Structure 1
Amino acid sequence: MPRGERSLPDDGGALTGFAADLRALRVKAGSPSYRELARLAHYSSSTLADAASGQRLPTLAVALAYVRACDGDPDEWETRWRATAATWSADADNGPAPDEADCPYAGLAAFQPQDAERFFGRERLTDELVERVAAGRFLAVLGASGSGKSSLLCAGLVARLRGDAAPVMLITPGPHPLETCAAQLAMAVNGADDLRDDPRTLHRTVLQAMADRPAGIDMTLVVDQFEEIFSVCDDPAERNAFVAALLTAAQAANSRLRVVLGVRADFFQRCAEHAELFAALQDSTLLVGPMTVDDLRRAIGQPATRAGYTLEGALLARVVADAVGQPTVLPLVSHAMRETWQRRRGNALTLSGYEAAGGMHHALANSAEAGYLAMSPAEQQVARSIFLRLVTLGDGIGDTRRRARRTEFPGAQTGAVLEALAGARLVTLDTDTVELTHEALLLAWPRLACWISADRAALHSYQELADAAAAWRREGRDSSGLLRGSRLVAARHWLDEDRVAVMPADQVREFLAASVLHERRNACLRRMALVLLCVLAVVASVSAVVALRQRATAVTERDRAVAGRMSFQAQQLAQTDISLAARLQLASYRLDPAPDVYTDLVTAENESLATVLTGHTDVIYGVAYRGDGRVLATGGQDDTIRLWNVADPFHPVALGAPVPAKAGRVYWLAFSPDGRTLAAAGRDGTIALWNVTDPSRPVRWGPPLTGHTSYVFSVSFSPDGRLLVSAGQDRSVRLWNVADPAHATPIGPPMTGTTEPVASAAFSPDGRTVVSLGHDRTVRLWNVTDPAHPVPWGPPLIGHTNTVYAAAFAPDARLLATVSNDHSVRLWDVHDPARARPLGRPLTGHTDTVYAVAFSPDGTVLATAGADQTVRLWNLADRANPLPLGRPLTGHSAYVYWLAFSPDGHTLASVSQDRTARLWHLPDTTLTAHAGPVREGVVDSTGELLATGGSDHTVRLWRLDTPAPRSAGPPLTGHTGGVDGLAFKPDAPVLASTGDDRTVRLWDVADPTHPKALGRPLTGHTGIVQAVAFRPDGQILATGGQDHTVRLWDVADPLHPAALGTALSAHDDVVYDVAFRPDGKVLASGGADDHVALWDVSDPGHPRNLARLSVRTGGVRSLAISPDGRTLATAGADHTVRLWNITDPAHPSAWSPPLTGHTSFVLSVAFSRDGRTLASGSQDQTSRLWNVADPAHPSARGHAITSHTGRVRWVGFSRDDNTLLTTGDDATVQLSRLSPADVLGDVCAATGGALTEDDWRRYAPGMAYAPPCPDRG
Structure 2
Amino acid sequence: MPRGERPLGPEDTALLRFAGDLRRLRDQAGKPSYRELARRANYSPTALSDAAGGRKLPSLALTLAFVKACEADPAPWTKRWRELAAEHTLPLQPNAPYPGAAAFTEHDAKSFFGRECLVEQVVESVKAKQLTLVCGASGSGRTSLLQAGLLPALDDAVVVTPGAKPLEALAEALAGIFENTTADQLAEEFRQDPDHLRLRIRQHRPDLVLLVDDVEQALEADDFIAAITRCPRVVLAVRADHRRRCHDKGLRGTEITVEPMSADELRRAITEPAARIGATVETAVIARLVADAANQHALPLVQLALVETWRRKRGMTLSLAGFEESGGLEHVAAQAAQSFFDTLGENDRRAARQVFLRLISVQRNGIVHRGSRRLDTDGQLLDLLAKARLVTLIEDGVELTHDAVLRWPELATWIDEERDNLSTHQQLVTAMELWEASDRDPQALYRGARLRKAKELGAFLTAQERSFVAMSTKRETRRSTALIAVMAVLIALVPGTVVYALSNERKISALNDRELGGKAISESEALMEQRRPYADKYALVGYKVYPSAEAEKVLRLANAMTRGIPFTGTPGDDADVVVAPRGEIAAVTDQDGTDRMWSIDEDRAEPGKRFADRHRVVKLSDRRAVTRDNAGQEHLWAVDDAKDITYLAPLPNRFRTLDLSPDGARIVGKVGAAVDAGLPTPDESEHAELFDLSDPRHPRELPMPVHNPETVSLSQDGRELATAVWDRASGVTTIEFWRIGGTVERSALSLVQHGYVRGITYSADGRWLAVERSPESVVDVWQRVPGEAPLLRARLETTLRSGARVTFASDDRVAVVRDNVFEVQRLYTSGRPSDRLVYVVGHGNSTRAVYRPQHDDFLVRSGSQAPELLPYVLDSARIIKRMCEKDGARLTDSEWVKSFGEVERVDVC
TM-score after normalising by structure 2: 0.45
Q: Which is helix-richer, 1 or 2?
A: 2
TM-score after normalising by structure 1: 0.34
Instruction: State the structure with more CA Rg.
Output: 1
Q: Which is strand-richer, 1 or 2?
A: 1
- Structure scoring higher RCO (CA < 8 A, sep ≥ 6) equals 2
